[in-house]
Amino acid sequence: MARMLLDISQLPQGVLTYTNKRFFDFIEGFCGKDEADLLSIQAIRSVDSFLFIEDVYSIFTVDSEDVIEIQTRCAFKNRNGTFTVKPGIKSSLNYVLSLLKEMKKEAIKQKKNHLVSTPLIVSTTLVNGVDSSSIDTVISPFISKKNEAEHNEFIITSIEQWFVQNTSAINFRNINFVCGIDYHLKFSPSLDKVEVLCSCGSTSSLVLAESDNFKKYSMTEALLSIPLNVFDLRDKDFFNFIEQFCGEAVMEYFELLGVRSVNSLLGIDDIFAPLQEDYLELVDIKKKIAFHRSDGSYIIKIGIQHDVNKLMKTLRNLLSNKAQVINDPGNSNELIFKSEVFQQHPFLKRLIDFYNNLLQNHDTTNEIFLHHFLDNILSNIPMAKSRHRYQEEVLDFAICLFILSGRNAYEFLRRNIPGALPTITTVQTKLAKQGFRAIEGLTTVQRKIIYDTRSNSFVGFSPPLDEYGMPRMKHFQTNSIEDLKRWFQQEDISNLVNLYMIQPININNQKISPYALAAYGTNVKYTSFDVIRRWFTIFDRTASQGVRLIGYSTDADSSPTTKHPLLLTVGIPKSWSWFFLPAQQLFLCMQDAVHICTKLRNRLLSTKAVLMMGDGLISIDYLFQLIQSRSKFYHNLVKSDICPTDKQNFKSCQKLCAAIECLQEINGSYATVVYLTIIRCIIIAFIDSSTTTAARIYHAWLAVYTCRLWRIWLNLVPQENFNKRLSQMATLSDVDKNEFKQKTTKRSFFITSTTFFCIELNAHHLTYLTLLVAENQLPSETLNVSLFSSQTCKNFFRLSRSISGTFSTHVNFSVQQFLNRQEKISMLNSIKTQSSTSSSSTKFVFRNHHKTQQNHEHSSIPPEKMTKQQVEEQVERAFKDAVSLLLPLGIKDVLQKANIVNMNQVSRHVYNDLNRSTKKANFFKPITIDECYDESDSDSDESVSPEDPNNQANGLYSWDDDDENNEDEIEDDNAVHLLPQTNNIRLQAMKGVRDTINPDLQDSYFLVNIDGKRKYLHKNTAIWYLTDEKHKLSSDRLNRVMEN
């Protein structure tokens, strides 16, 4: 037979490392599909297995239906039932096997020539995976017969010399081999042979040469290079290790057997014995790792048998070496380092001191993160970058660091601390995967459309609502540019984002951060009925998950409830004529107290209202007089606190309330003092976290009865009296006086109806909540109504604007950008919450502002329960104090003339008045954002600054394409759309316009016709093409919140 020419140049570089699909693709390309399938069905999944499996044709002797197809395809069947491999297939496999063996030998020779020859070498699996077989020996001159000690000294000296000579060749810098620690020598009784036991688990045999010195003995198949901490791997880490060395099928088999660590694996005599049993749980896995013989038994696939045997041999060898080191009587129980080591690396002593201190003061309930961080770094440093693994604590830390510092700072740390932090891709992948109160809020966003590759959707259009009031997810998906054109022409682009958040009830004084439930872009054009249906849908879906939603906090009024199996019901005494809320409620609806306060402040500062309370006048003139006549150290006010420009300035509300005592010194200011007292009552009742339940009830109803008495007085006083007082006011112009006199209602003399209803609703729902707790239907922690606020959404929006990159000045975002930031903030809050719980062993320390710490200390007192009798006492006390508060203004005299004296009469009059003044809501009338705030925010003289027309330039939206390869064109004539002809010379340089694309990215492109040529237009480029103007949004918060 002619000898074949072995030309290894035809093999691809690095073929010796090929595994799995890459290996099978190589065999198929070099030999053919039949040869590749022959190896694949036997689970021969790597070049290493192919080289060392003795007979890859043994499958043709297997009597199993599982292999009949491959047998008949690759062999001839004899009359006696046996098979003979087809000569072509056998020849091609033998040829590639010979080439691989020759390439292996050549690789060994190259390593030999690269390294310096020495009298001795041991296995170097420890250091960068260099094969011990890659280094030969040089026989030293003959030396007289030596004893064991002399041989021992000679070998150690030879290793040290070889180490020094090869430091630069294989990057041995800052590494030493120490006998007794890194390796051990084991002599035979006749001293003619010695085994070098490496701490990594590999061994080398040295035999005595004629020169009376030891030389390297030939080795068989090299053992696996496995991590040194393999005996510490458990569960997920162990299964990842098994999958890496033996494949996914073996990993699944071990999972089914409950083998979760190396120790449990080595304790099993025959790991494949369960396959011979008739276990139902192993039916599927048997098909993956074994062939079913006709006699009912199973034969393990030869490739799997080889991989598992090699793994077991390596692990047992490593365990044996470890046991010899431990049981060696010559070894001390203490680890001994040479002084030179500490001199060269002084940090080692500090590291040892740290861990010694950790052992002496170990607290399993509060493990410091630094321990896990250092352990992870030291575990990753010896590994290749592709094998770096990160503990959950380190991953959580990396996510927090990425969110808080941004991409640039994170990459700087990751690149300069090898093995410490995962790549940004890993972090982003984890980010893309995470009794209650629901909170709803809106914020302005940039009117911008962005194509989201993950969902293959165009984000930024206002999604329509379904029959449940929920936005239709992924509604704007298309592969037609005509659809996108139509959407740009007909659909609204969202200028607001609607955010729903969940505020968990804090149990056992645990501070639980709120988290985002849902967010979507909107134009706020929907019916009131849509809002109600959406609330019911959220309620039902949370209830189906075992979560009890207590209520909503938003700017909307409460909705009527229908029959529902989870209706809340309390017993309301018949004597409570002052309580208007029905006994049955599905959920509670509370107006954000901060909004109530700012609405009251805006009404005070408005030029469109003249607030009259009894004989007094509510006016900012008294506040101006206070600021001008008293020192700022006295009242702490500035003119901007009473400036009507900033409508959302809640801090000025607090400062105005704090100056009530100072304001009392100004003549004629008593009505203004009473008005500010209403604001202070709302702050104490609904915003201050340290208020007791009794104080909340009292101040809420004090505000209610002050407004009720004021409203009744306005209804009873004739219009002529107000006109007369208007004529006497010197601060109003004649035009303004006439305008007020021509109004047919008295609304301009009172707070807005929306504000009045919100004050009533909050007080009623607070009382209802107190009754639920009193009847043990809800825990007492639900009385922390300071959390019942849509300010949670406002804080979330502020966070979203602040987490842009270090070098970015952008504070605004589009809908898609907000959704991306929402993922980061939600993950950060989740990690914070988990870290703060008592069950978390590793706690991260986050910076807390000193005011936040003080607020948490104040709120640490759990709210107390109240009985119905105690609630009634506080309400009666609030009524009496409200009457006394308004007594100097002469309101009581008017009420007595109308025979409205006691609490029941006042309540009955207000109840009848509300019934007359309210009407049934039309749930099918569309409402817009302007209409929602028409009454409550029309008090301000603000206007929205127009967008700058000079900043309307269009720009190409660029991105990083994941694929630069030119693939075959996708034939789909039906998808071709025509675009107007263009002679733009930039067209050829645009990344978003291509002649061919990767078929895997087909969904991200439109197939169009440009200048008579078929082109692939990226969907983001299509957005740029169809966008006719660039909308700007002010970076100034004040300009963003100003309304027309």
Strands, E assignment, 250-379: 290-292, 298-300
Rounded to whole angstroms, the Cα distance separating 432 from 826 reads: 11
Cα angle, residue 41 at apex, residues 39 and 47 outer, rounded to 5°: 30
In a domain, 735, yes or no: yes
For residues 605 and 1043, the model is more confident at 605
Q: Is residue 822 part of a domain?
A: no
Q: Are strands 183-187 and 193-198 parallel, antiparallel or unpaired?
A: antiparallel
Tens-digit pLDDT profile for residues 186-201: 777 767 677 777 755 5
Domain ranges, residue 365? 344-430
pLDDT in tens, 944-974: 233 333 333 333 223 233 333 333 333 344 4
The pLDDT of 891-917, averaged and rounded, is: 86
Question: Could you tell me if 757 and 881 lie in one domain?
Answer: yes
What band does 387 get if pLDDT is binned at 50, 70 and 90?
confident
CA distance 911 to 1024: 57
End of a domain among 106, 136, 159? 106
Q: Tell me which residue has tokens 């030998």.
A: 105
Are residues 360 and 391 both part of a single domain? yes
Q: Tokens in use for 954?
A: 């269009």
> What strands, in cross-sheet order, belong to the sheet with 993-994?
977-978, 1005-1010, 1013-1018, 993-994
Of the candidates 668, 674, 654, which has an alpha carbon nearest to the alpha carbon of residue 626? 668
My answer on whether 179 and 71 are in the same domain is no
Distance of alpha carbon 627 from alpha carbon 417, whole angstroms: 57
- Note whether 302 and 43 are within 8 A (CB): yes
Share of the chain above pLDDT 90, in %: 6
- The answer to whether position 1032 is within a domain reads no
Q: What is the 3-state secondary structure (H, E, C) of 410-450?
A: HHHHHHHCCCCCCCHHHHHHHHHCCCEEEEEEEEECCCCCE
- Domain C-terminal end among 883, 917, 932: 932
**What are residue 616's DSSP bridge partners?**
613
Total structural domains within the chain: 6
Tens of pLDDT, residue by residue over 692-712, are: 999 999 999 999 999 999 999
Residue at 891: amino acid letter:
I
**Mean pLDDT across 390-410:** 85
Give the residue from 458, 26, 45 showing the smallest Cα distance to 245. 45
Taking only the tens place, the pLDDT of each residue in 13-51 is 888 888 888 888 988 888 899 888 989 899 898 888 888
Which of 204-213, 619-628, 781-790 has the weakest average pLDDT? 204-213
- Looking at the chain, the number of H-run helices and the number of E-run strands are 38, 25
Tokens 């047919």 map to which residue?
A: 744
The answer on 688 and 593 residing in a single domain is yes
Asked if the structure places residue 237 within a domain, the reply is yes
Residues 140 and 242 grouped into a single domain: no
Rounded-to-integer distance, Cα 111 and Cα 970, Å? 48
- Main-chain phi, psi angles of 317, to 5 degrees: -65, -40
The whole-number pLDDT of residue 224 equals 59
pLDDT for 878:
94
pLDDT above 70 coverage of the chain, percent:
68
Q: Are residues 626 and 730 part of one domain?
A: yes
Asked if 604 and 746 sit in the same domain, the reply is yes
DSSP structure string for 737-753 = HHHHHT-SSSGGGS--H
Helix locations, 729-859, DSSP H:
734-741, 753-774, 791-802, 815-836, 850-858
Predicted local confidence at residue 883, as pLDDT: 92
Q: 145 in a domain, yes or no?
A: yes
Q: Which of 59, 88, 106 is the last residue of a domain?
A: 106
Asked if 889 and 674 count as a contact pair (C-beta separation under 8 A), the reply is yes
Same domain as 670, residue 721: yes
Tell me the C-alpha distance between 169 and 351, whole Å. 30
Whole-number pLDDT of residue 171: 47
In contact, 742 and 398? CB cutoff 8 Å: no
- pLDDT tens by residue, 476-487: 888 888 888 888
Asked if residue 57 and residue 196 are part of one domain, the reply reads: no
In a domain, 817, yes or no: no
Tell whether 405 is covered by a domain.
Answer: yes
348 with 379, same domain? Answer: yes
Q: Which residues pair with 1007 in a beta bridge?
A: 1016
Check pLDDT > 80 for residue 934.
no
Q: Where would I find the beta strands (DSSP E) of 480-579?
A: 496-504, 515-522, 526-527, 549-554, 568-569
Pair 617, 729 in one domain: yes
Is residue 126's pLDDT more than 80?
A: no
Q: What is the mean pLDDT of the chain?
A: 74
How many whole angstroms separate alpha carbon 271 and alpha carbon 309? 10
Residue 395 has pLDDT above 60, yes or no: yes
Same domain, 119 and 243: no
Of 565 and 343, more confident: 343
C-alpha distances in Å from residue 687, one per residue of 218, 676, 762, 1041: 81, 15, 12, 22
CA angle in degrees (0–180, nearest 5) for 129-132-134: 100
Looking at residue 139, its pLDDT comes to 32
pLDDT at 241 over 60: yes
In a domain, residue 808? The reply is: no
Rounded Cα distance between 557 and 756, Å, is 11
